[in-house]
Structure 1
C-alpha cells in the first residue's frame, strides 16, 4: 500500500507543481516539505488537508494521513503495554520473596486462546491479568494456602508474555518475561512449569541463533522431568533435536526425536494445563519437522516432510481448542522446505500456498523468517528459469513486504 509521503510526492509530480510553488500554496517551507515527502518527519494533518486541496487529490491524501495516524496510535499503545509488561517482569524477577495470592481467573482461557489468536491482543490480556496478580502480591491480599497456586498463575502469565513478545520479534523482552516465569516456578516449587520455562528459554535462544546456549537451557531443564507427569520431557527432547540439527548432527537429532517418542510413551499423566502449556502429538510432529529441515536433505528431509504433514493433518482433524494456527502455518513452510530439499519445487509451492494470503497481523516473526529462508532456497541458481520457483519467491517477498 502506498504511504502518505509516497502519495504526496507522486501527486505533486503528477500535478506538475514544483517544490517552491507547492511551498507557497500550502504555506510551509521547502525544507519541511522535503522531510514530509521523504518520510523523515511526520506531516501534520493541516498539511494533508492543504495539499489535498492544492493537488486536487479528492480526499486521497487526507484518507492516507488518517490511516497512518491510526497505525501510529496503535503502535504507541502497543509500545506502552510492552514497556509496562517488561517493567513488571523485571520487578517479578527482582523480588526476593514473591508472595502470591489467589489463582487468577482467565489463565486457562488465555493459554488455550493463544493458539488461535494474534500475539498482540494476547499480550494485552496477559498483562491485564498479571497486573491484578501483581497488585495482590504487593498488597498481600491472599490466603497462605493459595500462595503456591498464584506463583504458578503469575508464572504462566509471564510465560504467555514471553511467547507473545517472541512472536512479535523481540527475543530480549521475551527472555525477561521467561526469567520472571522461572522465578515464579521456583517459588511455587512447580517442576512442570520449571521444565516448560527451560524449553521456552531454549526456544528464545534458538530464535536468536544461539544453539549452544539453547542446548544448555534444554539440558538444565531435564532436572525437572522424569516423574511421568506431563509432556515436559518430550518437549525438551524435541528442543534438543532442533539444537543438534542446527549444529549439523543428524544422528543425534534423530536420536533426540526418538527419545521424545519414548518419553511420550512413558507418560502416566497429562499436562495440568493445555493450550500454550501443552505439547500435543501434533506439536511434537511439528517440532520434528522443524528440526530436520536444517540438515542436508535425504532421509532427514523425508522424515521432516512426513512429520510436518502429520502435524498439519492432526491439527486439522483435532479439536479446535488444540489447534495452533501459527504452528500449523509454519508446518506448511517446513513441509515446503523439505520438498525443496527433495527437489520437488511443485510440491513446495503447493505446501506453502495457504500461508501466502495471510493478513499482516497474522504474519508472526517466525513465519517471515522461515519463509524468507525458503525463498532463498528457491532462488538458488539450480532453479533459474523454473517458473514455479520464481512465482513462489515473488509471492513470499510480497508477504514479507
Structure 2
C-alpha cells in the first residue's frame, strides 16, 4: 500500500515543484516536510489537508494520512502524540490577530496612495515606522496564514521605501531594500511584489543612464509578473522609456503599442493615486515622457494635456510632484519641436516649483545642455536655478552641470 510520504513525493514530482518551494507555500519548515515525505513524521490533519490542496490531490493524499505512527517510528506513542498536539497548537496560536493585519494592510494602501502627494523624505519616515513594527511582529507567535500575510506586508513596505530612497538619491539603501522586498516576495510566493522589485530596479538603472540594464530588468519583470497585473503594464512602459533614451524609435513605439493594448480594457481603479495600481490615465503621461525622450515633436501635445489635468484635475487633488515632472517632459518636447527658449522657461518653472526629486535632476541637465548649445539667453537663468536648487544631489543621478 502506498504511504503518505510515497504519494507526497510522487505528487511533488508530477507537479515539478521543489520540496523547498512547497514548504514555503504551506508554509512550514523545509526539514519537517522532508521528514514527512520520507515517512519519518506523521502530518497533522491540517497539514495533510493543506498539502492535498496545494498538490490538487482531490482528497487522495489527505486520506493516506496514517492513523498511527508508521512502522519505522518508535512505538509507545506518547512523544509522537505530544508532538502532534504541539504542532496543532502552534499552528492555531497567535499573538497578532486579524485586526492588526487588516490595519497594516490598510496602512500599506494609504502609504502607496500618498506617494504622489507627499515628499519622499516625509513618506519614508512613516514607512520606516511601519517596517519597524512589522519586524517586531515577526518575533511573536502567530498562525502560518498570519505569517504569510505579514511577509507580504513587509514586502510591499520594503518596496515602497526603496522607491522613496531612489527619489532621494540614496541608491545603496534602495538596493538593499529592493533585495529585501524580493526575498520576502520569494518567501511569500508573491510574483507581483517580485515583479515590482525588478521594475523598480529598472527605473533606478534608467535614471542612472544604464539603459541596456534597465531593458533587461524590465523584461525580467514582465516574465515574472502576472499578465493582467499593474506590474506587467508598468514594466512594459519602463522598457519603452529605456528604448527611448537609447534613441531606438521602432522599439520605443512597439513598447508604447503594447502598453496601449494592455491598458485599453482597464477600468478606472477605486484609488487611482495608488502607486501599485495602474491608472489608465497614466498612459498619456508615460507616452509624453517616452516620446519626449525619443525626440518626437508629438510629445508636446501629450505633455500639455497631461500637465493641464495634473494641475487642474476634474476630480481629486492636484498632483504637484507629477506636474513638475510633466513640465520636464514638456521642456524636452519643446526642444524636439525646435523651441529652445520656451523649453528653458518651462524647465525653470519645474526647478523653481521645489517639487522635483533627485531622481529627476538628470532630466534638467539634459535641457540645460541642449539650450546652452543653442545659445538661448534663458539658459543662464535655468543653469543658475539648477545649481542653487538641484546640484547638491547631482552626483547620484547622471552628469552634473559645473
Match of 2:242? 243
Match of 2:211? 211
Match of 1:252? 251
Q: Distance in 1 between matches of 2:212 and 2:270?
A: 28
Question: Is 1:293 the equivalent of 2:292?
Answer: yes
280-289 vs 191-200, which moves further? 280-289
Cα offsets for 1:107-152 (capped at 9, x unmatched) = 2211111211111121111111011111111x13333332332222
RMSD over equivalenced CA pairs, Å: 2.9
Match of 2:110? 109
Q: Distance in 2 between matches of 1:344 and 1:124?
A: 41
SS for the counterpart of 2:308 is helix
Q: How does 1:1-400 map to 2 (within 5 A)?
A: 102-103=101-102, 104=104, 106-137=107-138, 139-225=139-225, 227-228=227-228, 230-267=229-266, 275-295=274-294, 297=295, 300=296, 302-316=297-311, 317=313, 319-320=315-316, 324-359=319-354, 362-380=355-373, 383-384=374-375, 386-400=376-390
339-348 vs 256-265, which moves further? 339-348
Kindly tell me the number of residue pairs found equivalent between the two proteins. 294
Kept after mapping to 1: 8 A contact 2:285/2:302: yes
Q: 1:329 to 1:178 in 2, by over 3 A?
A: same
Q: 1:332 to 1:357 in 2, by over 3 A?
A: same
Kept after mapping to 2: 8 A contact 1:293/1:338: yes
SS for the counterpart of 2:264 is helix
Kept after mapping to 1: 8 A contact 2:324/2:356: no
Q: Distance in 2 between matches of 1:392 and 1:274?
A: 31
Unaligned runs of 5+ in 2: 1-27, 31-90, 392-402
Q: Distance in 1 between matches of 2:29 and 2:116?
A: 32
SS for the counterpart of 1:278 is coil
Q: Distance in 1 between matches of 2:242 and 2:209?
A: 9
Q: Distance in 1 between matches of 2:29 and 2:328?
A: 44
Kept after mapping to 1: 8 A contact 2:240/2:252: yes
TM-score in terms of structure 1 length = 0.66
Q: Distance in 2 between matches of 1:289 and 1:170?
A: 27
Q: Distance in 2 between matches of 1:195 and 1:274?
A: 20
Q: Which structure has the larger Rg? A: 2
Quote how far apart the aligned CAs of 1:214 are. 1.3
Cα offsets for 1:329-379 (capped at 9, x unmatched) = 1110111111022111343244334323234xx441023221122111110
Q: Quick check: which one's helix share is greater?
A: 1
Q: 1:248 to 1:345 in 2, by over 3 A?
A: closer
Match of 1:20? none
